[in-house]
């Protein structure tokens, strides 16, 4: 029998609290302004996984009183058609937040489409303007998953100030904004990636270790400093039937060494949609 010493961080419970808080604040916002926050989702093509994600986001909006606008375009929609829809949503006062579900089918350019979104409505925080504001420490809309990780750390009472934080993964969607948020919270931040030499050694320095790679069980138990907080962002689907989800961390081994760890599923995942709802309310306030 393995000894499990780590606290398992209950992302579902923290996300439920965030959603409840958003619902209360949405109700107050409607009373104060007479406006209902609205989220427009744009899905191009018929990718089944993307359709499930968009459906989940729309359902979550309805549950907290945010009005959903669900736009679907065929896979062969032209660049001009997609950009015209984004322009229309930018100009629509009922729409506080806009997100285009990525990836978009080729030859469409997800970066171009995302950057067409008005920065004040950029609830995914992926435009150049939002990334720049985050880098400069200015208020703005921040990507949902890294925001969710910061809320999880807060929920378990881990203050990044003065701590060694290691982020494995340097994507624009997660790794880079995660590092910026930790830096803003006064952590000493190291970003690792596919070319990092001796990932294990760098990981062992971490008081807060965050893995966002997409390789099941990449992070081994002996990569973890005793007492560290481990946040597993990875989502990997097994080929078994039915498929199971695992993270990037060898959970059982890590839980023997860490002081706290997120499970997959039920850790970071639920925070992403909760933070999207939160961002939509923030966007509504910015354009009120």
Q: Catalog residues that contact ligand NAD under the rule CB under 6 A.
A: 145, 168-171, 173-175, 192-194, 196, 199, 212-215, 233-235, 268-269, 272
Least spacing, CB of residue 11 vs ligand NAD, in Å? 9
Closer residue to ligand NAD, CB minimum distance, 79 or 237:
237
Q: CA-to-CA distance for 132 and 181, rounded, in angstroms?
A: 13
Q: Is 59 a catalytic residue?
A: no
At residue 90's C-alpha, the angle toward residues 148 and 138, to 5°, is 45
Least spacing, CB of residue 54 vs ligand NAD, in Å? 14
Give me the catalytic one of 118, 122, 124, 232.
Answer: 124
Q: Is 63 a catalytic residue?
A: no
Closer residue to ligand NAD, CB minimum distance, 160 or 234:
234
Closer residue to ligand NAD, CB minimum distance, 275 or 283:
275
Quote the DSSP letter at residue 7: E
Contact 156, 260 (CB under 8 A): yes
Could you tell me which of 273, 120, 147, 186 has the C-alpha nearest to residue 130? 120
Q: CA-to-CA distance for 146 and 184, rounded, in angstroms?
A: 13
Least spacing, CB of residue 145 vs ligand NAD, in Å? 4
What distances in angstroms separate CA 125 from CA 24, 107, 120, 212, one per listed residue? 23, 23, 9, 18
Closer residue to ligand NAD, CB minimum distance, 174 or 251:
174
Q: Is 101 a catalytic residue?
A: yes
Kindly give, in sequence order, each residue whose CB lies less than 8 Å from that of residue 184, ignoring residues fewer than 6 positions away.
137
Least spacing, CB of residue 198 vs ligand NAD, in Å? 11
- For the annotated catalytic residues, the residue numbers are 57, 101, 124
């Amino acid at each position: 029998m393995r000894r499990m010493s780590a606290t398992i961080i209950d992302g579902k419970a923290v996300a439920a609290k965030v959603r409840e808080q958003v619902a209360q604040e949405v109700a107050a916002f409607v009373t104060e302004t007479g406006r209902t926050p609205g989220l427009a989702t744009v899905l191009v093509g018929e990718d089944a996984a993307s359709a499930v994600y968009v459906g989940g986001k729309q359902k979550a909006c309805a549950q907290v009183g945010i009005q959903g606008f669900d736009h679907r375009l065929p896979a062969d929609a032209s660049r001009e058609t997609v950009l015209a829809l984004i322009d229309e949503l930018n100009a629509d006062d009922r729409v506080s937040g806009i997100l285009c579900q990525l990836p978009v089918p080729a030859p469409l350019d997800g970066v171009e489409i995302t950057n067409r979104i008005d920065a004040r409505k950029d609830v995914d925080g992926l435009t150049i303007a939002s990334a720049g504001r985050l880098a400069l420490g200015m208020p703005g809309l921040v990507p949902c998953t890294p925001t969710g990780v910061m809320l999880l750390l807060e929920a378990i009472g881990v203050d990044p100030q003065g701590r060694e934080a290691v982020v494995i993964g340097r994507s624009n969607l997660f790794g880079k904004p995660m590092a910026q948020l930790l830096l803003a919270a006064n952590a000493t931040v190291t970003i690792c990636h596919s070319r990092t030499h001796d990932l294990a050694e760098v990981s062992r320095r971490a008081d807060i270790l965050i893995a966002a790679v997409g390789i099941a069980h990449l992070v081994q138990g002996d990569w973890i400093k005793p007492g560290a907080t481990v946040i597993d962002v990875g989502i990997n689907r097994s080929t078994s039937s039915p498929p199971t989800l695992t993270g990037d961390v060898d959970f059982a081994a890590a839980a023997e060494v860490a002081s706290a760890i997120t499970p997959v599923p039920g850790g970071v995942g639920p925070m992403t949609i909760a933070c999207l709802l939160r961002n939509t309310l923030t966007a509504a306030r910015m354009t009120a």
